[in-house]
């Protein structure tokens, strides 16, 4: 069923698969070189019997087609596919709309799903820096304190509410004040694990794709009309844009919810990887691996990405388990996006790993960290090196990193500053543009929980107020905000988000996962600190520089003593100017304060453990500066 010969014979490069619908016409097209017959059925809704069925016409390259001289917008459909004399019913893998729970596809004239003004919707102008905020749609507004009307809580629509509960900024109002540049949304293509007609209290992160090109229904206010989820998803993106935020979609092309997917029913065996014994490979640890590297699999994935970018105006994509996809496919997607939208306009990054080995197609390379040198410079990957050196290993609960009691990490943490461009890790990136710096994401413990677990023995109260944990949190943030590369944070990291010690909350109740907006007030000091770091970061060419020469800005890195390191950075911009010509940075992970001698010149304090983005003259006496235990400090030297 698979193999080079099959691909050469049947590869179809048209991007008109699915049901294309305009006011005058509807064209159904699917790809199945192995089918003996395919019959189209049309339905008035998601559950009633078919009102029309007709055999499709076979064309070249395994294409089946049926054309209607009318708009079938709003009509539901599926296919009865005969392979080896056996009939199987399937939804359309290329569908752009679907019924409640996604088992029937829907014909959609996409122009009729645009909310008012969507035609002129554009992304906000690119900022100097990428500061990405990772958010789950339900987490955003499920909390009653969110101030979002009940009917919109947990929905796409929540993003259209100017979110304030009357007492303090929440939701969109809060986001736009934070200074982040991108909102990265956990999967919102149609996923299978939540009953869309069921209770609001259901919860899943959504890493279980059912219909790759349709938005998830449980985030829509009406799941019975398949156009609502499309319109409301667009409204969400439009609202984020209107508030100055770019939008990134978390995409999961490495596996499907189950092997018995629409792709499998259409062309059995083609879309998945199998081991030599014929069993499914499981590099995703989710039961199956999509066979990236085959012609029509790659076309499917690349076309899907382009579809979301064009139709939904998305500004970037985060690839789940990118290590299961191929270098060739990722580079192709980078190229297609650049050609269509301009170089680097869309962000691309992913997890450069996989859960287990997976048999790759001959002649392809896995998009793993080890192959970073083959990946385009415009494809970023999460730096587990940066994450682990700062706060400790993600799977070793009690193992600390630099900020929470780890030892012998001084040299290593200094390598993180240039995004490991100077070495220190198993892989040297082409430039820090390839690096996503972070210390927390949806997987594993929240930063706060990890710090509490490593800094408190025995019974940990995750809701407790611990000044030393708070200081370590600030220092962790200070460190990755002073590393070159792209910045990424899990929503709520900036207000000590806790999941009460749960490290895998993918299907936990929403109350464990949701953002608790009151915490933005209770932890106001921490929020202000992050806001300051974000604002300061954007002013510093030394840190925003993504060129392959950026690492050369770092000078005189020094380990002063246990837990204390310093370095200098050339902070001049392309014109050789800059408010501060040079930066001097100190990380003090020790518990005690210490005094550090400053290089020659007049220095101003730009950030310390209490305040970020300040501008304080140095106290006059002496050349030294005193820095508190568990804190960072940045100083700037103005030009002569």
Smallest separation, CB 191 to Ca ion (Å): 5
Q: Which two tokens stand for residue 394?
A: 């993600």
Instruction: Identify residues 67-86 at the interface with Ca ion (CB under 5 A).
Output: none
Smallest separation, CB 104 to Ca ion (Å): 13
Q: Which of 92, 351, 361, 449 is catalytic?
A: 351
Q: Which is nearer to Ca ion, 108 or 414 (CB)?
A: 108
Distance (Å, whole) CA 187 – CA 321: 13
Q: Which is nearer to Ca ion, 222 or 558 (CB)?
A: 222
* Count of chain residues binding Ca ion (CB under 5 A): 3
Q: Which is nearer to Ca ion, 87 or 195 (CB)?
A: 195
Q: Which is nearer to Ca ion, 190 or 303 (CB)?
A: 190
What's the length of the chain?
640
Instruction: Identify residues 170-229 at the interface with Ca ion (CB under 5 A).
Output: 190, 216-217
Distance (Å, whole) CA 168 – CA 397: 35
Question: Rounded to 5 degrees, what are φ and ψ at 388?
Answer: -75, -35
Q: Does 320 bind Ca ion (CB under 5 A)?
A: no
Q: Enter the DSSP assignment of 279.
A: P
Smallest separation, CB 196 to Ca ion (Å): 5
From residue 7 to residue 46, what is the string marking binding to Ca ion with x (rule CB under 5 A)?
Answer: ----------------------------------------
Smallest separation, CB 26 to Ca ion (Å): 24
Q: Which is nearer to Ca ion, 156 or 445 (CB)?
A: 156
Residue 131 CB-density burial (10 A; 0-12 exposed, 13-18 middle, 19+ buried): buried
Smallest separation, CB 216 to Ca ion (Å): 5
Smallest separation, CB 202 to Ca ion (Å): 11
Closest CA to 603 of 553, 637, 627, 569: 637
Residue 85 CB-density burial (10 A; 0-12 exposed, 13-18 middle, 19+ buried): exposed
Q: Which of 145, 232, 250, 320 is catalytic?
A: 320
Bridge partners for 290 per DSSP: 272
Q: Which is nearer to Ca ion, 78 or 190 (CB)?
A: 190
From residue 136 to residue 175, what is the string marking binding to Ca ion with x (rule CB under 5 A)?
Answer: ----------------------------------------
Distance (Å, whole) CA 207 – CA 97: 19
Distance (Å, whole) CA 350 – CA 348: 7
Bridge partners for 65 per DSSP: 29, 57
Residues 520, 170 contacting (CB under 8 angstroms): yes
Residues 191, 170 contacting (CB under 8 angstroms): no
HSE-CB of 61 using CA atoms within 13 angstroms: 14
Instruction: Identify residues 450-509 at the interface with Ca ion (CB under 5 A).
Output: none
Q: Which is nearer to Ca ion, 101 or 571 (CB)?
A: 101
From residue 534 to residue 573, what is the string marking binding to Ca ion with x (rule CB under 5 A)?
Answer: ----------------------------------------
Distance (Å, whole) CA 473 – CA 391: 9
Smallest separation, CB 507 to Ca ion (Å): 14
320 catalytic? Reply is: yes
Residues 391, 413 contacting (CB under 8 angstroms): no
Instruction: Identify residues 597-636 at the interface with Ca ion (CB under 5 A).
Output: none
Q: How far is CA 462 from CA 134, 466, 527, 563, in A?
A: 21, 10, 18, 26
Which residue is closest to Ca ion by CB? 190
351 catalytic? Reply is: yes
Which residues are marked as active site?
320, 351
Q: What does the binding site for Ca ion look like in residue numbers (CB under 5 A)?
A: 190, 216-217
């Amino acid at each position: 069923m698979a193999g080079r010969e099959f691909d050469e014979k049947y590869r179809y490069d048209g991007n008109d698969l699915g049901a294309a619908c305009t006011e005058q016409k509807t064209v159904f097209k699917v790809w199945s070189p192995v089918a003996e017959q395919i019959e189209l059925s049309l339905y008035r809704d998601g559950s009633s019997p078919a009102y029309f069925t007709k055999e499709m016409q076979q064309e070249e390259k395994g294409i089946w087609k049926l054309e209607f001289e009318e708009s079938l917008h709003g009509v539901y459909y599926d296919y009865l596919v005969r392979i080896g004399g056996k009939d199987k019913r399937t939804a359309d893998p290329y569908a752009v709309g679907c019924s409640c729970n996604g088992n029937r596809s829907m014909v959609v004239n996409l122009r009729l799903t645009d909310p008012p003004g969507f035609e002129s919707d554009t992304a906000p102008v690119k900022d100097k820096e990428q500061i990405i905020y990772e958010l789950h749609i339900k987490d955003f507004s499920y909390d009653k304190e969110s101030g979002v009307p009940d009917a919109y809580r947990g929905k796409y629509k929540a993003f259209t509410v100017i979110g304030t509960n009357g007492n303090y900024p929440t939701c969109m109002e809060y986001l736009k004040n934070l200074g982040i540049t991108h909102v990265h949304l956990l999967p919102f293509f149609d996923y299978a694990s939540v009953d869309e007609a069921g209770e609001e209290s259901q919860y899943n992160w959504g890493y279980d794709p059912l219909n790759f090109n349709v938005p998830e229904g449980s985030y829509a206010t009406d799941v019975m009309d398949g156009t609502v989820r499309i319109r409301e998803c667009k409204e969400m993106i439009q609202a984020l844009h209107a508030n100055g935020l770019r939008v990134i979609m978390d995409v999961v092309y490495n596996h499907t919810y189950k092997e018995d997917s629409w792709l499998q029913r259409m062309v059995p065996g083609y879309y998945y990887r199998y081991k030599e014994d014929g069993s499914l490979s499981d590099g995703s640890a989710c039961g199956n691996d999509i066979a990236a590297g085959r012609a029509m699999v790659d076309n499917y994935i690349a076309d899907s990405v382009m579809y979301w970018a064009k139709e939904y105006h998305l500004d970037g994509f985060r690839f789940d388990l990118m290590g299961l996809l191929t270098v060739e496919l990722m580079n192709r997607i980078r190229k297609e996006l650049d050609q269509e939208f301009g170089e680097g306009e869309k962000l691309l990054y992913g997890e450069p790993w996989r859960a287990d080995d997976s048999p790759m197609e001959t002649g392809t390379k896995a998009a793993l960290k080890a192959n970073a040198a083959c990946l385009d410079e415009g494809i970023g990957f999460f730096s587990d090196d940066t994450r682990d050196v700062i706060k400790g290993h993600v799977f070793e609960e009690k193992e600390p990193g630099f900020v929470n009691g780890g030892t012998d990490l001084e040299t290593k943490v200094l390598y993180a500053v240039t995004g490991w461009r100077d070495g220190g890790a198993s892989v040297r990136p082409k430039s820090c543009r390839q690096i996503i710096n972070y210390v927390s994401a949806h997987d594993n413990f929240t930063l706060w929980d990890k710090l509490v677990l490593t800094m408190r023995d025995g019974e940990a109260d995750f809701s407790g107020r611990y000044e030393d944990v708070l200081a370590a949190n600030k220092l962790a943030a200070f460190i990755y905000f002073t590393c070159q590369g792209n910045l990424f944070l899990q929503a709520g990291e900036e207000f000590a988000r806790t999941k009460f010690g749960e490290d895998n909350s993918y299907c936990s109740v929403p109350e464990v996962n949701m953002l608790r907006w009151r915490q933005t007030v209770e932890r106001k000091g921490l929020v202000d600190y992050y806001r300051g770091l974000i604002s300061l970061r954007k002013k510093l060419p030394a840190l925003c520089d993504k060129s392959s020469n950026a690492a050369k800005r770092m000078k005189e890195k020094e380990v002063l003593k246990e837990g204390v390191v310093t370095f200098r950075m050339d902070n001049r911009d392309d014109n050789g100017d800059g408010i501060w010509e040079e930066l001097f940075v100190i990380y003090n992970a020790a518990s005690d304060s210490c005094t550090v001698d400053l290089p020659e010149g007049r220095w101003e304090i730009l950030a310390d453990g209490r305040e970020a983005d300040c501008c304080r003259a140095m106290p006059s006496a002496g050349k030294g500066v005193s820095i508190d235990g568990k804190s960072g400090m940045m100083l700037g030297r103005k030009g002569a």
